Amino acid sequence: MSRGRGRTRLPPAVLAVRGAAGALAVAGLAHTLWHGLHEPGLALAFGVLITVGELARWGALPGEREPAPIGAAGALAYALLGRSGGEPTSHGALQVIAVLVAAQLVAAVPHVARGSGPTADQVARRIVIVSFAAVCFQPLHNSGRSAVWFGDGPYFALFLLVLLVLTALCDAVLGALLLRSGTAFPYGPLLRDELRALLGIGSAVCATGAVMALGVSVAGLWALPVLCVPLLLTQVSFRRFVAVRTTYRQTITSLARSTEIAGYTPHGHARRVAMLCTAVGRELGLSGAELTVLEYAALMHDIGQLSLVDPVPDGATAPLPAAEQRRIALLGGAVVRQTGVDTEIAVVVERQADPYREQPLPARIVRAVNAYDDLCGEGLSGPLDALEQLRLGTGHDYQPEVVESLARVLARGGLTPVLPG
C-alpha cells in the first residue's frame, strides 16, 4: 500500500466494502429512527442474541474462521424471519440492518475498552452479507410473493436453503477479495480457502440461522435459546481443536529453534524461511493443508544439522556440495519422523536437497527460499546477488517458476532477507 500525506491509502476493494457497509448502516438506522421499530420484542430479542454472540469474541483464538458464530447465526435468522409464533412479521430489511449495527456497537464497547475485537473489515463484511440476505428475503415476504410462490411447505425450506447457499458464496467471495486487497496474493487460492471454511463452522452458522428462523416462526422466541445450544457446543469444540493445533505449531516452532539455540543456524533463520515459503506457496496457488505442511517443513528444514559433529559455517547449507546437502536433509527427515509430526512434513525435509525435477512442490520452495536466505547471510551475498545466483541455478537446483515467484514476493515487500513478525 502507498502512503499519501502521512496516511495509509486503503485498497479500492476495502474502501468499496467499507463504504457500502457504512451506507447500509446509515440507511438502516435512519429509517428505523424515523419510522420506529416494528415488533420491538422481536428486535430486542435478536439484538440481545447478536450482542451476546459478538461478546463471545473475547475467547477467540488465532486461526478461528468465525469467532462469533452465534452472533452471525442470530443476524441471519433475523434477516430470514417471516413469522413469529405463526404470526407474520413486518420488520423489513432496513430494520434488520439497524438491529445488527446497534448490537455490534453495544458489543464493541467492552472490546474497545479491552483493546481487541473485530476489525473494521470484519464488521463491514458482516453488515454487507446480512444485508444481502435480508434484501433477498424481506421484500418477498412483506409483499406476500414468497407465500404465493413457495407456500409454507418444503418449497419454502428449499428457498431458504438456496438463499443461504448464495449468501455463503457471497461471503466467501467478499472475504477472499478483502484478503486479496491486503496481501496481493492470487485470488484463486484465497477463494478456495474461504470455500473450504464453509464446510466447517460456516455451514453450521448457516444451518443454525435457517433453523432459528423456522423455529421462531412456529414456536416463537422460546425457540432461540434452545436452538443456540448446538452451535454453542460446536464453537466450544472448534476452539478446543484450534487450541490443540496452536500447541502443535508451538511445539514445531520450539523444535525449529533448537538449531538456533545450539548455535548451528543464525537467529531467526527458520522463521524467515517459513514466512517467505508461505508467501511463495500462496503465490504459486497452494492453500489450506498444503500451506500448513509447507510452513512446518520450512520451520524444521535445518533440524538435521543437530546431527553434525562440526557445525556448518554460519549454518548456510546452500554453498555445500550436493552430497552433503542431501546427507543433512536425510538426517533432518529422520529427526522429524521421530518427533511424530505428519509424514508429509518429513518427506519435504528429506527431499529439499534433491534436483528440483525430482521434488514435490513444497520441497522446491523450501530449497529455493533457504538458499536465498543463506546467500543473503553475512559475508556471503546481498539480496539482488542472491536472486541472481538462484536464477543461475535454475537448470538443475531450483525450479524457475519458484525463483520468479520468490522475486515477485520480495519485490512487493522489499528485497530484504529479514522479514517482520
Give 312's contacts (C-beta < 8 A, 6+ positions apart): 264, 305, 320, 328
- pLDDT 10s per residue in the chain (421 long)? 444 444 557 788 888 999 999 999 999 999 999 998 899 999 999 999 999 888 877 766 555 667 778 888 999 999 999 888 888 888 989 999 999 999 999 988 887 777 777 788 889 999 999 999 999 999 988 888 888 888 777 888 888 888 988 998 999 899 888 888 766 677 877 888 888 877 777 888 888 888 888 888 888 888 888 888 887 787 777 778 778 888 888 888 888 888 888 888 888 888 999 999 998 998 888 877 888 899 999 999 988 888 887 788 877 888 888 888 888 889 888 888 887 788 899 999 999 988 888 889 999 999 999 999 888 865 555 678 888 888 888 878 889 999 999 998 888 774 444 333 3
* Helices then strands, each counted (H, E), the chain: 17, 4
Q: What's the CA gap between 5 and 28, in Å, rounded?
A: 34
- DSSP-based helix, strand, coil % in the chain, nearest 5: 75, 0, 25
Q: pTM for the complete prediction?
A: 0.76
Torsion (CA) 49, 54, 56, 61 in degrees, nearest 10: 150
Give SS3 for 32.
helix
- The CA-CA-CA angle for residues 229, 288, 166, to 5°, reads 55
Query: How far apart, in Å, are the Cα atoms of 383 and each of 231, 263, 319, 399?
Result: 50, 24, 16, 18
SS3 244: helix
**Residue 321 DSSP symbol:** -
At residue 285, φ and ψ (nearest 5 deg) are 100, 5
Is residue 63 within 8 Å of residue 109, measured between CB atoms?
Answer: no
Sign of CA dihedral 41, 45, 50, 52: positive
Q: At what angle do helices 69-79 and 120-142 cross, to 10 degrees?
A: 30
DSSP per-residue string spanning 383-397:
HHHHHHHHHHTTTTT
Q: Which domains does the chain have, with CATH numbers?
A: 7-244 (no CATH), 262-413 (1.10.3210.10)
